[in-house]
Amino acid sequence: MKKIISILVLTILTSIILISCGGGRDVNSKLIGTWSGNWQGDIIGEINSGNATMEIKSNGDAVLNLSSSKLGEVKHTGYINKDNFVITSSSDGEKVCPIVSQSKGFKLVLIWKRMNMDVYLK
């Protein structure tokens, strides 16, 4: 019985360590690399658009840079997990943004309070 409990505890601790180090992330290898494209959407009631770049590392860490002449530059950091970009740099907590495959590249869908934006990356 002690062996079973020891094995369970060790398994749980290993899982916690892997998740906290990013090992629990499920990263599609097709997404790894540097991407560029554009974005467009409604931000605080105004339609805007601009350029976008994104870097996705093999461990799932990701950085999304958005820019426009009207709004300047914005940098979102986070990680990829399955079909989502999880933004961790938001002051409102984590934001989960779906990744949608397209014929060439993919699209990120950023929707939260007073913002609805699509980011197209190739």
| SS3 state of residue 2 | helix
Measure the CA–CA gap between 43 and 95, rounded to whole angstroms: 16
- The pLDDT of residue 92 is 87
- The pLDDT of residue 101 is 96
Q: Which two tokens stand for residue 54?
A: 């994104």
Q: Which two tokens stand for residue 2?
A: 């002690």
- The pLDDT of residue 16 is 40
Measure the CA–CA gap between 76 and 87, rounded to whole angstroms: 6
- The pLDDT of residue 77 is 98
How many residues in the chain? 122
Q: How far is CA 51 from CA 5, 8, 41, 69, in A?
A: 54, 49, 12, 9
Measure the CA–CA gap between 99 and 83, rounded to whole angstroms: 5
- The pLDDT of residue 20 is 41
Measure the CA–CA gap between 57 and 102, rounded to whole angstroms: 20
Q: Which two tokens stand for residue 17?
A: 């360590």
Q: Which two tokens stand for residue 96?
A: 């989960």
In a structure prediction context, what are the per-residue pLDDT tens digits for the chain, which is 122 residues long? 655 544 443 444 344 433 444 445 889 999 999 999 999 999 999 999 999 999 999 999 999 999 999 889 999 999 999 999 999 999 889 999 999 999 999 999 999 888 999 999 99
- The pLDDT of residue 97 is 97
